[in-house]
Every structure is written in structure tokens, then in C-alpha cells.
């Protein structure tokens, strides 16, 4: 691969931050007064006090040096997701600029092809990790609401769909290097529109997951 934008180079790290967030939310949603002991969870990021169910307070997470709190992890995960989406939109904008130019710059086209391929792979990897994560939660006996479970599945499916559509765009972009015909340009433009639609679906799925997780987290931390 040739030179890539830094946003793409850091995407894998961002993906892992998102999974950390999902683990943290699940830990907190274990029910009033009961934290979930998840398999393969390296450190307990937060513990809900057993007194919470009867009007007590939530115990502050025990943090080690360089360890971040759950709210910070949530914030980092949101930022990571936004950067991933922005990186995709940036690649699309660069590609559209090339389509509108009098002549194509093959080096730029090749760079965008590489970027799109990397994005497709990384987003697909995220979808697979969400799938494995959801299966592990089921096996662990974690008590998740039907809404939260459905939102996890929706997010997984939307990420996979986004990855596949971006991969198609990468293939079409590769063809532009040798054949910049009006027909192919039109095809690329239509594929770009399809990618934009899948990005909107992924964004909506992410927001719905955040909303449902936040709602249930409020339920576990609100005294009765």
C-alpha cells in the first residue's frame, strides 16, 4: 500500500476502543446491584454497589494508573466512531473531486482505492467483533434487554453492509485507473450514493445503540 491518511492508519485502534466501550456498558447493565462477570474481561472497569437497588449510590470505579473511567471510554468510543465515518466521507469527497476533474490523476485514484480497501476491511472487522461480542454475552448469561440486543444486531448488520458497499466502490475505483469512461464514472457515482446510504444506516444504528444503552444505564443507577 502507498501513503495513507493518518485517519485510516489509526482506525484499527479506534475499533478496539469501541469494543472496550461495549464491554463497559454491558458490565454496567448487569442489573441493579449485580455486576456481570464476563469471560475474557481483563479488568473490571466499574462495579455497581449492591445498595443501588434500594436507593444506594454507585461505587466509583477502582482505577489503576493510566486507567480511564467508563464515561471517558464512552466518550473515546464515540470520537473513534465519528473519525471512522469522517475518514470514509473524506475519501468519497476526494473521489468525487476526481470524477469532476477534466482528467483523472491515477496516483490519487490509486491512493483512494487503497484507503477504501482499508476502510472496508476494518469496518468488516468491527462487524465481526460486534458479532462475537454479542455471542459471548449470550453465553455468559448477561441480562440485556430485547431492545439492546436488537440494536447490537442492527449495528453489526449495518457495519457489514457498509463494508461490502465500500469494497464495491474500491473495485469500481480501481477500474477507473485504466478506463475512465462516462459509463464507469456514472457507475462510481451511483456506488458513492449507495455508500452514503449505508453510512447513514450505520450512524443511525450506532445512535440507537447509544440511546438504548444510556436508557438502561439510567434505570440501573436511579434509586427507587
CA–CA separation, 138 vs 125, rounded Å? 20
Residue 14 has pLDDT above 60, yes or no: no
Q: What single-letter DSSP state applies at residue 14? A: H
Tell me the C-alpha distance between 86 and 109, whole Å: 19
| 185 within 8 A of 98, measured Cβ to Cβ | no
pLDDT tens digit sequence for 158-209? 989 999 999 999 999 999 888 888 999 999 999 999 999 999 998 898 888 8
| pLDDT at residue 220 in the model | 60
The CB-side HSE value for 48 (13 A sphere, CA atoms) comes to 25
Q: What is the pLDDT of residues 98-113, one digit of tens each?
A: 888 888 888 889 998 9
Q: Are 80 and 19 in contact (CB under 8 A)?
A: no
- Return the pLDDT at 61: 44
Please, which pLDDT band fits residue 80 given cuts at 50, 70 and 90? Answer: low
Q: Given a cut of 70, is residue 46 above it in pLDDT? A: no
> Confidence band (pLDDT; 50, 70, 90) for 25?
low
Comparing CA positions, the residue from 113, 207, 203 lying closest to residue 159 is 203
Asked whether the predicted pLDDT for residue 33 surpasses 50, the reply is no
- Average model confidence (pLDDT) for the chain? 71
pTM for this model (two decimals): 0.66
Amino acid at each position: 500500500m502507498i501513503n495513507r491518511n493518518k485517519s485510516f492508519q489509526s482506525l484499527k485502534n479506534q475499533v478496539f476502543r469501541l469494543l472496550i466501550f461495549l464491554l463497559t456498558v454491558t458490565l454496567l447493565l448487569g442489573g441493579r446491584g449485580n455486576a456481570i462477570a464476563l469471560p475474557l474481561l481483563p479488568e473490571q472497569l466499574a462495579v455497581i454497589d449492591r445498595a443501588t437497588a434500594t436507593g444506594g449510590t454507585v461505587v466509583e470505579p477502582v482505577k489503576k494508573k493510566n486507567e480511564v473511567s467508563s464515561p471517558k471510554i464512552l466518550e473515546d468510543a464515540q470520537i473513534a466512531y465519528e473519525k471512522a465515518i469522517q475518514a470514509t466521507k473524506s475519501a468519497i469527497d476526494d473521489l468525487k473531486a476526481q470524477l469532476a476533474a477534466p482528467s483523472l490523476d491515477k496516483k490519487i485514484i490509486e491512493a483512494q482505492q487503497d484507503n477504501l480497501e482499508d476502510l472496508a476491511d476494518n469496518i468488516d472487522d468491527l462487524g465481526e467483533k460486534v458479532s462475537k461480542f454479542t455471542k459471548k454475552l449470550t453465553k455468559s448469561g448477561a441480562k440485556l434487554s430485547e431492545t439492546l440486543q436488537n440494536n447490537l444486531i442492527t449495528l453489526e448488520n449495518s457495519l457489514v453492509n457498509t463494508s461490502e458497499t465500500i469494497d464495491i466502490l474500491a473495485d469500481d475505483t480501481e477500474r477507473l485507473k485504466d478506463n475512465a469512461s462516462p459509463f464507469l464514472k456514472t457507475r462510481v457515482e451511483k456506488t458513492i450514493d449507495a455508500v452514503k446510504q449505508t453510512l447513514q444506516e450505520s450512524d443511525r444504528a450506532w445512535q440507537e445503540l447509544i440511546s438504548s444503552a444510556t436508557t438502561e444505564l439510567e434505570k440501573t443507577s436511579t434509586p427507587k
